[in-house]
Amino acid sequence: MLKRLAAVLVSVVSVVFTLNGYRPLSKNGYGSVYAFADGVFASELPMQSLGVQVTALAALSRRLPAPLRRFCWALTALSGLGLLGLRQLGRRANEPLTAALDAGLGPQRRRESGDLWKRPLPGAATAKKPGAARMLRIYRAYAHDGDISYGEFGSRNFLDIWRRPDLDRNGRAPVLLQVPGGAWMTGNKRGQAHPLMSHLVELGWICVAINYRLSPRSTWPDQIVDVKRAIAWTKEHIAAYGGDPDWIAITGGSAGGHLSSLAALTPNDPRFQPGFEDADTRVDVAVPFYGVYDFTATGDAIHPMMAAMVAKNVFKLRRTEIAEPFRQASPVAHVNPDAPPFFVLHGTNDSLVPVPQARDFVARLGEVSSQPVVYAELPWAQHAFDIFGSARAAHAAVAVEQFLAEIYSRRVTAEQTQSTPAAGH
């Protein structure tokens, strides 16, 4: 009897798991955490998920009565069809990404980075087919300079430098600084954004992945102060690793999307640079993924549990004290005409950070900023859709590369124009 119940349960759970990949079963309360956890596996690793479902049912369905066995396998087959559909949707993620880039940068934008950066020599290319298994070992391939201290707070102020082994240490490769997510309370420089960083490193970039102080042990604004300090360290020291201190992009997902956006919009702000007020913390471009951009948002623009959780554990303030600190910590409050170019990415199925956060932030940026603002809203994508080496993550990495190439080439063109004497002079 127990075996029969287990087989039915596995089959039913398989169908629910797959349905949640298409439409999250909850975006409120604790249920949203489970909707996210299941949804990101269903949408980003559908074939692996199907393999787990089939293996579990195969182990339980032996010697079941034929009608019950057929019923269980029919449900699993239905789940499998759904997972195949999710796989196909992920493989087509290039379509909304391309449309977003065309809309934000114009149809004449660069489609490839070409020779903008120092690509591998013919026959020495390091690019490999993306995949979840590859992401597990990619760190060892590129992070040869690890656990470098950029501040005074021990391992929370460590960073890793990703670079291609053959990259010239006397060169000037563009730099990407990666800020991990984790609700400002967890997170590590290893394990996040590996698809993006490995893709850019293979094309000649240098990536800097950082740790920063976390709550509840630390209190806001410690997190953004550390991000600013890491930017200042990078500008001062990255040339020794072959990086260009005059070209730094910043990225991050979730809490890292919030921190990277806030850092990009508040260059040299002394409120977030105690003790290093004179350090240069400007960045040239920002690429936040599924970030929180407005802590003061209401209604469906913010998770119903977020304000209380952040106030208690991160800011450590009462509800009556939090209004102004929330506003100051919100990137949307710092949008200004001098904001750097932004490429904002968010998934429509995000169960933890509602998609209106990104829509409202991008709308405000578009109204005020004088620089390009690109927004890619990915259908069916969950929170953390770029963590695994999935098809969607690979498409997102290529789209980010194309965005960075366009912005970088515009700067190169502007510099060349400035250095060329006018005709007749």
Q: Is 360 a catalytic residue?
A: no
Whether 425 is covered by a domain: the verdict is: no
Of 66, 65, 50, nearest to 11 by C-alpha is: 50
Domain shared by 369 and 276, yes or no: yes
Report the number of distinct structural domains present in the chain.
Answer: 2
* Strand 342-347 to 373-378 pairing: parallel
List the structure tokens of 304.
């119903």
Whether 270 is covered by a domain: the verdict is: yes
Residues with Cβ within 8 Å of residue 327, at least 6 apart in sequence: 295, 296, 333
Catalytic residue (one of 383, 386, 390, 395) = 383
List the structure tokens of 240.
């020794």
Domain shared by 63 and 174, yes or no: no
Whether 23 is covered by a domain: the verdict is: yes
Whether 424 is covered by a domain: the verdict is: no
Domain shared by 123 and 193, yes or no: yes
Domain shared by 176 and 65, yes or no: no
Where does the pLDDT of residue 254 fall: very low under 50, low under 70, confident under 90, or very high at 90 and above?
very high
Cα-based distances in Å from 267 to 225, 229, 264, 334, 361: 12, 12, 6, 10, 18
What would the pLDDT profile of 295-307 be if each residue is shown by its tens digit? 999 999 999 999 9
Q: Is 147 a catalytic residue?
A: no
Domain closes at, from 89, 119, 154: 89
Q: What global pTM score does this model have?
A: 0.94
Catalytic residue (one of 258, 350, 351, 369) = 350
Domain shared by 314 and 376, yes or no: yes
Domain shared by 145 and 8, yes or no: no
Domain shared by 70 and 101, yes or no: no
What would the pLDDT profile of 290-340 be if each residue is shown by its tens digit? 999 999 999 999 999 999 999 999 999 998 999 999 999 999 999 999 999
What per-residue confidence (pLDDT) applies to 62?
Answer: 82
Domain shared by 44 and 112, yes or no: no
Whether 323 is covered by a domain: the verdict is: yes
Domain closes at, from 89, 109, 142: 89
Domain shared by 183 and 260, yes or no: yes
Q: H/E/C letters for each residue in the chain?
A: CHHHHHHHHHHHHHHHHHHHHHCCCCCCCCHHHHHHHHHHHHHHCHHHHHHHHHHHHHHHCCCCCHHHHHHHHHHHHHHHHHHHHHHHHHHCCHHHHHHHHHHHHCCCCCCCCCCCCCCCCCCCCCCCCCCHHHHHHHHHHHCCEEEEECCCCHHHHEEEEECCCCCCCCCCEEEEEEECCCCCCCCCCCCCCHHHHHHHHHCCCEEEEECCCCCCCCCCCHHHHHHHHHHHHHHHHHHHHCEEEEEEEEEEECHHHHHHHHHHHCCCCHHHCCCCCCCCCCCCEEEEECCCCCCCCCHHHCCCCHHHHHHHHHHCCCHHHCHHHHHHHCHHHHCCCCCCCEEEEEECCCCCCCCHHHHHHHHHHHHHCCCCEEEEEECCCCCCCCCCCCHHHHHHHHHHHHHHHHHHHHHHHHHHHHHCCCCCC
Q: Is 350 a catalytic residue?
A: yes
Domain closes at, from 55, 89, 123: 89
Domain shared by 114 and 72, yes or no: no
The Cα 44–Cα 137 span in angstroms is 18
Domain shared by 41 and 187, yes or no: no
Whether 180 is covered by a domain: the verdict is: yes
What would the pLDDT profile of 92-136 be if each residue is shown by its tens digit? 999 999 999 999 999 899 888 888 887 766 655 454 566 666 776
Residue 162 or 422, more confident: 162
Domain shared by 161 and 172, yes or no: yes
Whether 197 is covered by a domain: the verdict is: yes
Domain range enclosing 230: 92-419
Looking up residue 255, the CATH number of its domain turns out to be: 3.40.50.1820
